[in-house]
Amino acid sequence: VFKTRREKFNAVIQKIEAAHTKGQPVLVGTASVEASETLSRMLKRAKIPHTVLNAKYHAQEAEIVSNAGQLGAVTVSTNMAGRGTDIKLGKGVHELGGLYVVGTERHESRRTDRQLRGRCSRQGDPGRSQFFISFEDDLMRNFAAADRMTNMMERFGMKEGEALEHSWLNRSVETAQKRVEQRNYTGRKRVLDFDDVMNKQREVVYGYRNEVLTTETPRDLVNEIIDECISSKVNEYLTGRDENSEDYNELLHWVNSTLPIRVTAEDLKFESSNEEQISAFLIGKVKETYETRVADLPLEVLDQEERRMVLAAIDKQWQAHLYNMDALREGVGLRAQGQKDPLIEYKNEAYNLFVTLMDSIKQDALQNLFRSAANLEAFLRQLHSAPQELHAAEEDYISHDNIAESGSSGSLDPASMPSPEGTKLSLNLPKRKPSFSIESTGRNAQCPCGSGKKYKQCCGKEA
């Protein structure tokens, strides 16, 4: 252990130079790319040929590591580089003591140190390893009381470049590494606890979504949504209200603006008006209105439409909920400034957001169902009335535009016209001629009629 990083690197260079002089291969392990580049510059000044292996030269990683055991080879590598590649010793290296592994810093994890040591003496080959540490290293400075040790070395009068070796130092370094590992474990566990909150909510929402997809009776889910949504709103607006109060303005505003029914305050005045009676009255009225609207719709179409509306509500509200949860996760850490546990605060806030999510899903689904039912009803009415409208248009065209032709061939007999019911009608009207000049329009130019097609594929076909 050295006092400063400069003294440590100078000692490392001396060890590398001594091993390289006798031909022993050296593998230098560093904790960062910056440290590997610093050592590389020092080795160049010492005129020691070497190879650098870090994130900048990852393409040649396997080749560089495999040659690290050759006679006189010096390889500077980061802790993450070259793993999984065996270092085979060259000829004559066994007699020199095998591979010499030099660690320039103790890592935060003891496992990483053991991996570096394990690069030498593999499969019975000779080798040795040695670590060089300074009190300016991040590990020693943050977790091993390096300032106190530095003051002690100065008090004992240790000279510059003099190393301190003792078993207590190894114990102190291992204690610091244990502290770092415990801190990292606590951090990972903390992240897992935060993710577990979101995972539980995801399981509930996707379970409900799968239930909507697989159920054979979507109408039961619709009735459940109506019951829960209206009961929740009645409890929200009327809980804590004075028993003698007859103020239903907030509840009436929500009912009349959200649902396709009209309810007045007189409708909610019962002999003993309580929340259960009001909820039952509104639920019955809403279900009756819904049944009336979907009575004429085909059952298969209705089932598909009910599924689609509920799924649309789930997907829309779930996406918004994910954004809200991300915002909560980013800002909840500041609660620690108020002496509060961010995890507990996150769980409480996440639960409130989840309750709001489920209420929003049911309310949005209820609105979608009535809106979809109204659209389907209007579409079917228009579809049924289409043959009669086409028939009336054809009669009007024949009676007005072709009066001369009909007069010459005889009178028109309405009874001879085909029945609109069950018959596909079409209007054979004369093709309208374009009102623009064709002399100035090229064949590949856009048609002036506004169809978006080329002139030769539209009005210019007959030209």
The confidence score (pLDDT) of residue 419 equals 45
Assess if residue 170 is contained within a domain. no
The confidence score (pLDDT) of residue 53 equals 82
User: Which burial class, exposed, middle or buried, applies to 30 when counting CB atoms under 10 A from its CB (0-12, 13-18, 19+)?
Assistant: buried
Of the residues 350, 379, 408, the one at which a domain ends = 379
Positive or negative torsion for Cα 378, 381, 383, 389: negative
116 pLDDT above the threshold of 60 = yes
The confidence score (pLDDT) of residue 316 equals 93
Interval 162-176: pLDDT, tens: 777 777 777 878 888
The confidence score (pLDDT) of residue 208 equals 94
Give the highest mean pLDDT range of 222-236, 237-251, 290-304, 389-403: 222-236
CA angle 410, 413, 419 (to 5 degrees): 145
Least confident of 86-95, 208-217, 265-274, 364-373: 265-274
**pLDDT band for position 79 (50/70/90)?**
confident
* Whether residue 365 sits in one domain with residue 222: yes
Phi, psi of 166 (to 5 degrees): -165, 150
Token reading at 132: 């060089």
* Whether residue 323 sits in one domain with residue 278: yes
Mean pLDDT computed over 176-180: 86
The confidence score (pLDDT) of residue 446 equals 78
- Other Cβ atoms within 10 Å of 205 Cβ, number: 19
Query: For residues 69 and 463, which has the higher predicted lDDT (pLDDT)?
Result: 69
Give the highest mean pLDDT range of 64-78, 191-205, 389-403: 191-205
Interval 292-309: pLDDT, tens: 877 877 888 888 888 888
Assess if residue 291 is contained within a domain. yes
> What CA–CA distance (Å, rounded) separates 255 from 169?
75
The confidence score (pLDDT) of residue 427 equals 42
Q: Are 336 and 364 in contact (CB under 8 A)?
A: no
Query: For residues 239 and 358, which has the higher predicted lDDT (pLDDT)?
Result: 358
> What CA–CA distance (Å, rounded) separates 366 from 314?
12
Interval 6-62: pLDDT, tens: 888 999 999 999 999 989 999 998 888 888 899 999 999 999 999 888 766 666 777
Structural domain that includes position 91: 5-165
* Structural element, H or E, at residue 128: strand 127-131
For the stretch 78-110, what's the b/e string if a residue is b when 16 or more beta carbons lie within 10 angstroms of its beta carbon?
bbebbeeeebebeeebeebebbbbbbbbbbbee
**pLDDT band for position 421 (50/70/90)?**
very low
Collapse the DSSP code of 23 into the 3-class scheme (helix H, G, I; strand E, B; otherwise coil) and give the result: coil
93 pLDDT above the threshold of 50 = yes
The confidence score (pLDDT) of residue 395 equals 56
* Whether residue 161 sits in one domain with residue 280: no
Give the highest mean pLDDT range of 232-241, 290-299, 354-363, 364-373: 354-363
The helix-helix angle for 167-214 and 218-238 (nearest 10°) equals: 110
CATH, residue 329: 1.10.3060.10
* Whether residue 217 sits in one domain with residue 157: no
* Whether residue 351 sits in one domain with residue 204: yes
**Residue matched to tokens 């790319």:** 33
398 pLDDT above the threshold of 60 = no
Q: Are 232 and 337 in contact (CB under 8 A)?
A: no
* Whether residue 211 sits in one domain with residue 114: no
Q: Are 114 and 142 in contact (CB under 8 A)?
A: no
In the chain, the percentage of residues whose pLDDT exceeds 90 is 21
107 pLDDT above the threshold of 90 = no
* Whether residue 117 sits in one domain with residue 212: no
**pLDDT band for position 276 (50/70/90)?**
confident
> What CA–CA distance (Å, rounded) separates 27 from 57?
16
Phi, psi of 132 (to 5 degrees): -115, 125
* Structural element, H or E, at residue 208: helix 167-214
Assess if residue 234 is contained within a domain. yes
Interval 367-383: pLDDT, tens: 888 776 555 555 555 54
State the number of CA atoms in the 13 A half-sphere of 376 facing the CB.
23
285 pLDDT above the threshold of 60 = yes
The confidence score (pLDDT) of residue 16 equals 92
* Whether residue 272 sits in one domain with residue 229: yes
Assess if residue 222 is contained within a domain. yes
**Strands 99-103 and 127-131, bridge-based pairing:** parallel
* Whether residue 205 sits in one domain with residue 159: no
The confidence score (pLDDT) of residue 80 equals 56
**pLDDT band for position 268 (50/70/90)?**
confident
Token reading at 22: 């006798």
317 pLDDT above the threshold of 90 = yes
The C-alpha R_g of the chain, in whole angstroms, comes to: 42
Of the residues 142, 165, 188, the one at which a domain ends = 165
Least confident of 212-216, 259-263, 319-323, 385-389: 385-389
**pLDDT band for position 202 (50/70/90)?**
very high
Query: For residues 130 and 428, which has the higher predicted lDDT (pLDDT)?
Result: 130
Q: What's the number of domains the chain is made of?
A: 2
The confidence score (pLDDT) of residue 426 equals 45
Token reading at 45: 């000044």
Assess if residue 287 is contained within a domain. yes
Of the residues 379, 400, 419, the one at which a domain ends = 379
Q: Are 163 and 196 in contact (CB under 8 A)?
A: no
Collapse the DSSP code of 77 into the 3-class scheme (helix H, G, I; strand E, B; otherwise coil) and give the result: strand
The confidence score (pLDDT) of residue 359 equals 92
* Whether residue 205 sits in one domain with residue 157: no
> What CA–CA distance (Å, rounded) separates 435 from 132?
93
* CA proximity to 184, closest of 143, 145, 149: 143
Q: Are 405 and 417 in contact (CB under 8 A)?
A: no
Q: In Å, how far are 56, 165, 303, 420, 432 from 398, measured between CA atoms?
A: 85, 114, 44, 16, 16
The confidence score (pLDDT) of residue 384 equals 53
Assess if residue 227 is contained within a domain. yes
Collapse the DSSP code of 26 into the 3-class scheme (helix H, G, I; strand E, B; otherwise coil) and give the result: strand
Phi, psi of 201 (to 5 degrees): -65, -40
Q: Dmax of the chain from CA atoms?
A: 132
Query: For residues 291 and 403, which has the higher predicted lDDT (pLDDT)?
Result: 291
- Mean pLDDT (the chain, rounded): 78
The confidence score (pLDDT) of residue 393 equals 53
Assess if residue 297 is contained within a domain. yes
Terminal-to-terminal C-alpha distance of the chain: 97
CATH, residue 92: 3.40.50.300
The confidence score (pLDDT) of residue 349 equals 94
Token reading at 416: 């001879």
188 pLDDT above the threshold of 70 = yes
Q: In Å, how far are 52, 88, 244 from 15, measured between CA atoms?
A: 17, 22, 93
**Residue matched to tokens 């050296």:** 26
**pLDDT band for position 313 (50/70/90)?**
very high
The confidence score (pLDDT) of residue 410 equals 45
* Whether residue 254 sits in one domain with residue 146: no
* Whether residue 210 sits in one domain with residue 132: no
**Strands 74-78 and 26-30, bridge-based pairing:** parallel
Mean pLDDT computed over 165-190: 84
Assess if residue 182 is contained within a domain. no
